[in-house]
Structure 1
């Protein structure tokens, strides 16, 4: 239970936080006249502001709230996977993909990932396919809603379901108006606060390093020897090198193929701003990923993962750690940063999802019938209401009956999406004259392999009560890549043969 001081200060701070956010929303809404303004904005954004927005969007409630819980349960293996291997793949991929994606995106004037893919391959049906696939990202929205609910309910001593209702109504409510014009600035403020909180969390356990890193590992080993090892065969997700290293790097490489991440570069007005944007985002993102290590501090504070005889779930580890280990003043700052981590990504997801549904699904369907959406901004607001209702339903179910953690539910959907998006983005950026069969085959194969392995319980990794979505995603990405490269190779061989025949 939070102290009365924290509860009172929490209500005051949350009210001020909301007031600042509404200021930027109202300011942005006054500049939003079309769906294009909502998606990409019409203001001149600083590359540093967009870089901070990128870092805030890439880092969600998963990184600050949920993932440290896995580290608390699994130990060093979880930190290696989520704070080193996954970021290694993600940040390298971000640098490699960004300039090419932006170049193509500016030429075809894309607002969404589905539009980018459809325009790049000149196929409306393929664009529609990805527009519907983007609905899988609702699972990520659910993760963030649950994470925010856990943190705010703990701080304010409120019922979780009632807290969820307020969160959904408020955040989805104000996202009906501002869009990108307000989101870049709210993300910037959120990222700055998250930097402060990341430093607080990472330094909160320095006392455990008085005898060096070996002494720190010894403390973990005293609780459970497996906590101090790079692999934890008794964990659900970090059992061997395949799960800890290979799967995380492969997933990291593909993870940037999410609309609220890779399309962020389209907010920049000049190509000369890209390097400063990337530098800012990557430096801050490295700090954010390291926050996973705070889960190890929590495990040292709660060796049995219990408080007053009550077990601490994966999703409750960080909220409990903050309430138990910090004064109410510091705890308030930390919790506000955790809230920012969730809201920043949630805003980006709501913006990208609603734009995709409005423009790429409803707009395209209307066009095919010879009509057009007369008021796209108004339709977009109704779409956000729909997303709010769906998100609340699934968030409620994850609060009352999660499968180990809401992260498993979210990863299954999100990983499937970017596994499918990887090949179309890869070939769309780096290959010329790509036959449509290549990206279509890769995108479909990835979905079939991912869900086939996960729900078919294929491979030994899927036999336990908790299945690892990273394994299904990594295998799906590898399978779709090999298949697509094979088809592309056959196409190039045939093309070369035909060219030679013509010359003869």
Structure 2
């Protein structure tokens, strides 16, 4: 492990981490005291302000991927990655949020759904379909792994502790407190985390001001010096940004569909008043605009480490931001940045644990085993099962995270994208059709077929190697997901069209 932090930095970072843990535990205990049922855990029983929920949305959508992992891609491949991750995808996400949020909130409130799988099951009036989505929601564990690895990279560098020890500690602490607080504590911790992340984003973006001495031309020249395609809008030497199809078309499709994740689209259900939705969206999107620009820091890090090495030792892609923060800033700034980068990871990790455990408890375990519950103790039994599921998720996450630490395929980001993209590819058609096709209700066969086709297409394209650009050492999950989304949408529309004609015959 490369040691960059001074003894002064290490001491200050330890103090910040311990204080941070104490603040988190305060809000967890406060929230846990109000949790009596799974509904309390999943949606909370406190009246949240639109500002708090908007900040929670921004924090949940921009995790360790945005602040730690994605800038590493930009440090490797340059401006093409900024166009993809910093411009195209955010614009598609904002459009999708505005279009889908109100529709989902109205529908979610009408169905009294606690989870997205439950909403899908109730919308199409089929418990088996909800069970299917509860099962495939396990694909979201890959995103949990990304965040655990990102947090481990930051903390092991900041505290000078072996990564495996940091990984174990992070998982025990975060999964441990998420067994109790749920949404009641998560919204407030997310709001605090988003505020810290906002400060950190501004500091990181300001860190590259000196690179613009001499104007944009001088900055462009510094980027040109790094490599032949580093300052170009496309980078044929990369695995992700080889042409405009990957950079613009695929990322626009992915950005629109990515909102169909349970820890994102269900955030609006935390609002108690429909009038708060617009304010919630404005706050969330304004903060997200700043967060998504943090990927530019990858350019600054590459100029700082032209060879991506320290003392001749190669910096792993997932550790580039950690190395930049520790080596670039004085310790009194580093401690703020470390707290913010921890927040970037925990904000989404909390949302994923809360939504995934709620889904598995409510939509997988309950339908299969509720007949064994004691009716007089059902609420307590559900809460206990939810805690057991969180322990199960912690064990799985540790094993997969350890594997990604010691042997990643370029980056844990590829591993996470493959799983998460497969999930929302399957969810896209049922969510879209369920919200927008009302005149002729969509049949179960239509959406179920579309979901299965999406899963098969995604993994078929990714692992099959038969699609153009998908026979490389590292493949781009965005291509596989784009094909899955397009094919499943066409299948869904075709099935729905023929089902309408059949009804009218």
Question: TM-score, normalising length from structure 2?
Answer: 0.97
Equivalent position of 1:129 in the other structure: 132
User: 323-332 or 231-240: which moved more?
Assistant: 323-332
- Displacement after TM superposition at 1:368 (Å): 6.5
- Displacement after TM superposition at 1:88 (Å): 1.2
User: Which of residues 85, 102, 115 is equivalent to 1:99?
Assistant: 102
Equivalent position of 2:450 in the other structure: 442
How far, CA to CA, are the matches of 1:250 and 1:371 in structure 2?
46
1:218 paired to 2:226: no
Q: Give the secondary-structure state (helix, strand or coil) at the position aligned to 2:469.
A: helix
Equivalent position of 2:437 in the other structure: 431
How far, CA to CA, are the matches of 1:389 and 1:238 in structure 2?
34
How far, CA to CA, are the matches of 1:404 and 1:225 in structure 2?
21
How far, CA to CA, are the matches of 2:93 and 2:176 in structure 1?
31
- Displacement after TM superposition at 1:212 (Å): 2.4
User: Which of residues 382, 404, 428 is equivalent to 1:376?
Assistant: 382
**Map 1:459-478 → 2, pairs under 5 A:** 459-478=467-486
How far, CA to CA, are the matches of 2:308 and 2:148 in structure 1?
24
1:324 paired to 2:317: no
Q: Can you list the C-alpha shifts for 1:453-504, whole angstroms capped at 9, x where unaligned?
A: 1111121321110011011001100111111111112222333x43xxxxxx
1:458 paired to 2:461: no
Q: Give the secondary-structure state (helix, strand or coil) at the position aligned to 1:92.
A: helix
How far, CA to CA, are the matches of 1:449 and 1:367 in structure 2?
34
Equivalent position of 2:353 in the other structure: 350
Q: Report runs of 4+ in structure 1 exceeding 4 Å deviation.
A: 368-373
Equivalent position of 2:33 in the other structure: 30
1:272 paired to 2:275: yes
Equivalent position of 1:501 in the other structure: none
User: Which of residues 479, 490, 505 is equivalent to 1:482?
Assistant: 490
How far, CA to CA, are the matches of 1:26 and 1:369 in structure 2?
30
1:232 paired to 2:243: no
Q: Give the secondary-structure state (helix, strand or coil) at the position aligned to 1:467.
A: coil
Question: TM-score, normalising length from structure 1?
Answer: 0.97
1:204 paired to 2:221: no
Q: Can you list the C-alpha shifts for 1:319-356, whole angstroms capped at 9, x where unaligned?
A: 00011111111111111111100000000000011111
**Map 1:267-346 → 2, pairs under 5 A:** 267-346=270-349
Equivalent position of 1:502 in the other structure: none
User: Which of residues 179, 182, 194 is equivalent to 2:182?
Assistant: 179
Unaligned runs of 5+ in 1: 499-504
How far, CA to CA, are the matches of 1:354 and 1:461 in structure 2?
36
Q: 1:249 to 1:368 in 2, by over 3 A?
A: farther
- Displacement after TM superposition at 1:213 (Å): 2.3
Q: Give the secondary-structure state (helix, strand or coil) at the position aligned to 1:230.
A: coil
1:402 paired to 2:408: yes
